[in-house]
Amino acid sequence: MKITYQEEKRIFKLDTAHTSYIIGITDDEGFIGHVYYGAYIRDEDVTYLLRTGERPLVPSVNNRERGAFYDTFPCEYPGNGLGDYRESAVAILDQNGNTAVQPLYTGYRICDGKPEIPGLPATFGTEKECQTLEITAEDAVCGLAFSLYYTVFADVDVITRSVRIRNTGKAPVYLTKVMSAALDMDAEDYQMLTLCGSWARERVAERRPIGHGRQSVGSTRGESSHQEHPFLALVNKHATEDAGSVYGFHFVYSGNFLAQVEKNQYDSLRVVMGIHPQDFKWKLNPNETFCAPEAVLTYSGSGLGTMTRNLHDLYRKHLIRSPYRNQKRPVLINNWEATYFDFDTKKLLAIAREAKRCGIEMLVMDDGWFGRRNNDDCSLGDWTVNEEKLPGGLKHLVDEVNRIGLKFGIWFEPEMISPDSELYRAHPDWAIALPEREPVRSRNQYVLDLSRPEVVDYVYEAVASVLRSANVEYVKWDMNRQLTDLGSVYLGAERQGELLHRYVLAVYELQERLTREFPNLLLENCSGGGARFDPGMLYYSPQIWCSDDTDAVERLRIQEGTAMIYPLSAMGAHVSDCPNHITGRVTPFATRGNVALAGTFGYELDITKISEEERAQIPEQVALYHKYHDLIREGDYYRIASYSVNREYDCWGVVAKDRSEALYTCVQVTARPNVHSRKLRLAGLSPEKRYLVEESGTTAYGDTLMEAGILMPELRGDYASALIHLKEV
Ligand code: GLA
């Protein structure tokens, strides 16, 4: 049994292979206490960790200090306004204008498998793979019933949490904050690890001490964002890749979020994760239920690497639904950096022909094929083919590309509307805007009000009718600005605070419809590079464009941060032309290929214009992709050396689940004169297996390769790189 309940002690115990999570219910008023989360422990009574025997004692024994009890008790789902001054998990506004709420235990249910969360992406598993605990609670005064869900994925050491709140009263209640998870624990010298960045510099790892008070990352931009990421980890101060305690928290959601750690007066920590309360206010009528998105929790007692691999396995097995999940993706060539807006059928076909000769399998036509879109000032919303650029229309182009022997993919930015578009001229009220204010422009565009069902239907038909008109096998779904001017003429005054969440729900609905109507479509999400790279989008698309920055050196950092929590198979990565369009850096073509191999792999350059010498390398790189992609997509990922830390070189590896094969990639970012060769201690191998190092022809046992290590192949020059392939012999 993964989940057990000890009736006499009122204790729930949730076990994964290596972790335990324990919840205790106080027997006086039914406070739902958090007892323990960490390494697996036996079924012994550890409820002393609730410290209810210490002052201030439970309120039934010491009611005069009820407030102090509220402020110290470790809670599973802390309420608001009654004396717990730490961050609450839930807050409301009732008919009287009051904000207090306190969920108290009423019962539980345990079931095999996992219920879906209506309208939201979430992890899934069969009745054999997972088990779910639902703890029910209520606040009888404000008429709210709570369901706290915990699903145990034992094989990947993950527990997921989500919450539903139902209005059981007679009057509407406004929810002003609904966190998906809260976790109280002792401080024990943890640091906070987050992923932060900006456009072209997404998801760079940052580790900092936790001080008293609240420290958080979040987004109030309407999407998960380039800037901060819906993830945080508590990392023991001395934790390394393979030692130390690590708690990872990751949010399966694509909109505003809050991920916060708070250290209180007693040096306890409270972590909360959920939809950001800023600009959130949800009207809940009697009998209505609000479903909060899912939060993923994982604990590793063996360092950051285990956290990474737990999340990779969870997402590969229990989140990505696409049929491409366990398949090779077609090697694509995208025309964005090749042509920007300046292309036509002739140019695209020339690229396709050359691409075919080099072994590339799909052409993706990026931004600029519709309306009058010759620059980024107009036409978003007008999803009709520009026949001046594509004479004969889309079908003609796609048929020609197919005849050359390539698949065809296309770019959309469905959630947007240009002020200079036919759509905006017909429906100016379809843009998100505030009364009496001209909406703020970003990339000269507005955002469609997806809280309106007719707008959602328009968007869906606009995309689907293009896909129905030709043999389109891939869509890049882009979103190139963040939300401002939070106003909807559709939602009444009392529901304006629902706009941001309704927007995200509508994006999910659109992608759900799309993947249902076109089940074999390869969908790649994107948002000005990687601003909506999150587990929510991963549920719909097996890959997400990682960053607009395709510079191989910058990508080391971006891909390392991304791969800290996402499988390599999800990271959109392309070889582009040099000098790199964003950084101006020139790196060897081979290194650009080796770095892109750690992701979905493709090209983003004008293949008809690059040098003959570089073009000649493409068939070799494509061959490497075919040779290694099964391993890279399905294997276990290990960070060996980080350029972000040592500022000189980088090394990562992917090892087959059965340890029979491994591929390590080394990049020497800066060459240094007169130094000893670097030693790499490989990781993830089986100590007892003997491996052939393909490049040198030598053999060695796994323990030798991991403990004694190997010497890094000699590399000449900045940005040089090498692959090391091991096979069991
Ligand atoms: C975004 C994407 C790019 C490209 C452009 C097109 O920036 O991240 O890859 O598609 O939009 O406008």
DSSP string, 536-549: HHHTT-SEEE--S-
Residue with the smallest CA separation from ligand 1 atom 12 is 367
Return the SS3 of 631: helix
Quick check: CB of 478 below 6 Å from ligand 1?
A: yes
Cα–Cα distance, 354 to 603 (Å, whole number): 12
**Final residue before a domain boundary, out of 613, 634, 655:** 634
Torsion of CA 17, 23, 27, 32, to 10 degrees: -160
Quick check: CB of 526 below 6 Å from ligand 1?
A: yes
**Final residue before a domain boundary, out of 634, 667, 701:** 634
Instruction: Write out pLDDT tens, residues 545-554.
Output: 999 999 999 9
Residue 151: predicted pLDDT:
98
Alpha helices in 539-596 (DSSP H): 552-563, 589-596
Structure tokens given for 581: 């369009």
Quick check: CB of 294 below 6 Å from ligand 1?
A: no
Catalytic residue at 478?
yes
Domain co-membership, 178 together with 259: yes
Q: Are 230 and 241 in contact (CB under 8 A)?
A: no
Domain co-membership, 133 together with 193: yes
Cα–Cα distance, 164 to 114 (Å, whole number): 14
Task: State the CB neighbour count (10 A cutoff) for residue 270.
Answer: 23
654 found inside a domain: yes
308 found inside a domain: yes
Residue 187: predicted pLDDT:
85
Instruction: Write out pLDDT tens, residues 399-427.
Output: 999 999 999 999 999 999 999 999 999 99
* CATH code, 616: 3.20.20.70
Task: State the CB neighbour count (10 A cutoff) for residue 611.
Answer: 9
Residue 709: predicted pLDDT:
97
Instruction: Write out pLDDT tens, residues 587-637.
Output: 999 999 999 999 999 999 999 999 999 999 999 999 999 999 999 999 999
Q: Are 661 and 642 in contact (CB under 8 A)?
A: no
Quick check: CB of 364 below 6 Å from ligand 1?
A: no
Structure tokens given for 302: 């063996």
Instruction: Write out pLDDT tens, residues 477-536.
Output: 999 999 999 999 999 999 999 999 999 999 999 999 999 999 999 999 999 999 999 999
> Whats the size of the chain, residue-wise?
729
Q: 453-469 and 499-517 helices cross at what angle (nearest 10)?
A: 30
Mean pLDDT confidence for 697-714:
96
Task: Tell which residue, 21, 20, 25, has the closest CA to residue 9.
Answer: 25
Catalytic residue at 279?
no
Domain co-membership, 646 together with 518: no
Residue with the smallest CA separation from ligand 1 atom 1 is 528
Mean pLDDT confidence for 309-328:
97
Task: Tell which residue, 108, 27, 26, has the closest CA to residue 72.
Answer: 26
Residue 27: predicted pLDDT:
85
Instruction: Write out pLDDT tens, residues 163-177.
Output: 999 999 999 999 999
Q: Are 470 and 431 in contact (CB under 8 A)?
A: no
Q: How many domains does the chain have?
A: 3
668 found inside a domain: yes
Cα–Cα distance, 271 to 286 (Å, whole number): 31
Domain co-membership, 251 together with 154: yes
Ligand 1 centroid distance, CA of 621 (Å): 24
Domain co-membership, 165 together with 272: yes
Residue with the smallest CA separation from ligand 1 atom 2 is 528
Task: Tell which residue, 100, 98, 62, 58, has the closest CA to residue 82.
Answer: 100
Q: Are 170 and 143 in contact (CB under 8 A)?
A: yes
Return the SS3 of 311: helix
Domain co-membership, 492 together with 609: yes
* CATH code, 701: 2.60.40.1180
* CATH code, 78: 2.70.98.60
Choose which residue among 198, 476, 548 to substitute to test ligand 1 binding: the one with the highest number of ligand atoms within 8 A of its C-beta.
548
Alpha helices in 369-527 (DSSP H): 393-404, 422-426, 453-469, 499-517
Long-range CB pairs of 608-612 (<8 Å, 24+ gap) are 608/350, 608/351, 608/354, 609/338, 609/577, 610/577
Domain co-membership, 387 together with 508: yes
Structure tokens given for 100: 């207090």
Q: Structural domain of residue 667, as residue ranges?
A: 640-728
Average model confidence (pLDDT) across the chain: 97
Choose which residue among 411, 416, 571, 580 to substitute to test ligand 1 binding: the one with the highest number of ligand atoms within 8 A of its C-beta.
411
pLDDT band for position 263 (cuts 50, 70, 90): very high
Domain co-membership, 259 together with 345: no
Ligand 1 centroid distance, CA of 529 (Å): 7
Mean pLDDT confidence for 50-68:
95
Domain co-membership, 564 together with 662: no
Domain co-membership, 523 together with 604: yes
Mean pLDDT confidence for 65-91:
97
Cα–Cα distance, 219 to 227 (Å, whole number): 8
43 found inside a domain: yes
Residues in a beta bridge with 668: 649, 720
Quick check: CB of 121 below 6 Å from ligand 1?
A: no
Quick check: CB of 710 below 6 Å from ligand 1?
A: no
Domain co-membership, 312 together with 362: no
434 found inside a domain: yes
Q: Are 530 and 201 in contact (CB under 8 A)?
A: no
Cα–Cα distance, 473 to 406 (Å, whole number): 10
660 found inside a domain: yes
323 found inside a domain: no
**Final residue before a domain boundary, out of 287, 318, 349:** 318
| DSSP 8-class letter at 681 | -
Task: State the CB neighbour count (10 A cutoff) for residue 560.
Answer: 20
Instruction: Write out pLDDT tens, residues 80-89.
Output: 999 999 999 9
Residue 1 has pLDDT above 90, yes or no: no
Given the residues 94, 367, 478, 551, the one annotated as active site? 478
360 found inside a domain: yes
Cα–Cα distance, 337 to 576 (Å, whole number): 7
Q: Are 681 and 638 in contact (CB under 8 A)?
A: no
Quick check: CB of 528 below 6 Å from ligand 1?
A: yes
Ligand 1 centroid distance, CA of 532 (Å): 13
Residue 120 has pLDDT above 70, yes or no: yes
Locus of tokens 């790649």: 524
| Backbone dihedral angles phi then psi of residue 630, each to the nearest 5 degrees | -60, -45
Domain co-membership, 573 together with 556: yes
pLDDT band for position 465 (cuts 50, 70, 90): very high
Give the H/E segment covering residue 447: strand 446-447
| DSSP 8-class letter at 228 | B
At 229, the amino acid letter reads: H
Quick check: CB of 637 below 6 Å from ligand 1?
A: no
